[in-house]
Structure 1
Amino acid sequence: MMRPSLLTALLCVFAGCVRAPPVPVRHVVSTAEAPTFRISQGKGTAILLVNEETGARAASLGVLELEAGAGVPEHIHENSVEMLYVEEGTAEMTVEGKVVAVRSGDAVYIPARVRHSARIPEGAPRFRAVQVYVGPGPEQRFRQGVPVKSPAPSP
């Protein structure tokens, strides 16, 4: 039995592979240039800063902002590690079924294939976290939200 990668390589040789040209690496991306999406039923935003669209193939980086009462439903990232650095506010996160409180100054590590969710308690201040995915891709789900702004054209 052939391994999928070998089969794919052979198909590319015989059938020809069409590959998108590589995206030029943008070493600096300002928040003003980054696409921003309204998420969590209008109670949050996701700012997508560095990802495959800016030439980063190994990881992505964004900013997640959530108001009181907002939440992120339970989910899994099959192939990506998620890390958060909490800049402002507090949240109740559930990681592998265990509820943990996170607050400003905390770092959170969520391995691939681990169920997790988050909730911002009513009356809590705004939650703001830098969000990194090692193995980019999960950040693309935020594009299902309502665009707040589109990226400015790069020079």
Structure 2
Amino acid sequence: MHVSPDNVPTMAFDWGSIKWFVTPSAVEGASSTLGEVIVNPGRGHARHNHPAAEEIIYVISGEGRQMVDDGEEFAIREGDTVHIPAGVYHSTYNTTWRPLRLIVTYTPGGEEKALEAAPDLTLHEPGRVAEWRQA
């Protein structure tokens, strides 16, 4: 199956945006989730966990700080990979003026559904380009 970014919705938040390319609910037979996450400059997402799934983060471009298991933050940059076991708390912050682009996977898939309840979520329909504004 081929998935184009133009054919999936964009989840936009105060801290950045996500496009889920493969999810169990959208791709028949899929048992994992894969998407691209963009963390806006100087922003990040709060400490959270995924009780039922491990997460893998691959840094496409940019730089940031990563916390895993309430440990000390460490630097992440292009080419780095972070493994987060199921249930472990973590957070990611962009420490630069450029977007931090990540590929994220959940195994098993489905944890992305929790983001639908986020109070700062704006869902942009497929093909629609989100307009970004600095507050």
Instruction: Calculate the TM-score normalised by the size of structure 2.
Output: 0.83
Pick 1 or 2: higher relative contact order, CA cutoff 8 A, min separation 6.
Answer: 2
Q: Give 3-state SS (helix, strand or coil) of 1:54's partner.
A: coil
Pair 1:114-2:88 in alignment? yes
Q: Which amino acid is 1:130 matched to?
A: I
Q: Which amino acid is 1:138 matched to?
A: E
2:107 alignment partner in structure 1: 134
Structure 1 residues 6-17: aligned runs within 5 Å? none
In the TM superposition, what whole-angstrom CA distance separates every residue of 1:33-92 from its partner, at most 9, and x where no partner exists?
1111111x1x41100110011124420100000111211111111110100110010111
2:4 alignment partner in structure 1: 30
The answer (yes or no) to whether the contact 2:22–2:30 under 8 Å persists in 1 is no
Percent identity, please: 26
The answer (yes or no) to whether the contact 2:50–2:86 under 8 Å persists in 1 is yes
Larger Rg computed on CA atoms? 1
Mapped to 1, the partners of 2:33 and 2:42 lie a distance apart of 26
The answer (yes or no) to whether the contact 1:47–1:64 under 8 Å persists in 2 is yes
Q: Give 3-state SS (helix, strand or coil) of 2:109's partner.
A: coil
Task: Specify whether residues 56 and 73 from structure 1 end up closer, same or farther in structure 2 by C-alpha distance, changes over 3 A only.
Answer: farther
Task: Specify whether residues 125 and 57 from structure 1 end up closer, same or farther in structure 2 by C-alpha distance, changes over 3 A only.
Answer: same
1:150 alignment partner in structure 2: 126
Gaps of 5+ in 2: 129-135
Gaps of 5+ in 1: 1-26
2:132 alignment partner in structure 1: none
Once the two structures are TM-superposed, the CA of residue 134 in structure 1 deviates from its matched residue by 0.6
Once the two structures are TM-superposed, the CA of residue 151 in structure 1 deviates from its matched residue by 6.9
Mapped to 1, the partners of 2:127 and 2:111 lie a distance apart of 19
Task: Specify whether residues 96 and 34 from structure 1 end up closer, same or farther in structure 2 by C-alpha distance, changes over 3 A only.
Answer: same
Query: How many residue pairs are counted as aligned between the two chains?
Result: 123
Once the two structures are TM-superposed, the CA of residue 150 in structure 1 deviates from its matched residue by 3.3
1:48 alignment partner in structure 2: 20
Q: CA RMSD of the aligned region, Å?
A: 1.8
Task: Specify whether residues 141 and 69 from structure 1 end up closer, same or farther in structure 2 by C-alpha distance, changes over 3 A only.
Answer: farther
The answer (yes or no) to whether the contact 1:46–1:142 under 8 Å persists in 2 is no
In the TM superposition, what whole-angstrom CA distance separates every residue of 1:10-33 from its partner, at most 9, and x where no partner exists?
xxxxxxxxxxxxxxxxx2111111
The answer (yes or no) to whether the contact 2:6–2:126 under 8 Å persists in 1 is no
Instruction: Calculate the TM-score normalised by the size of structure 1.
Output: 0.73
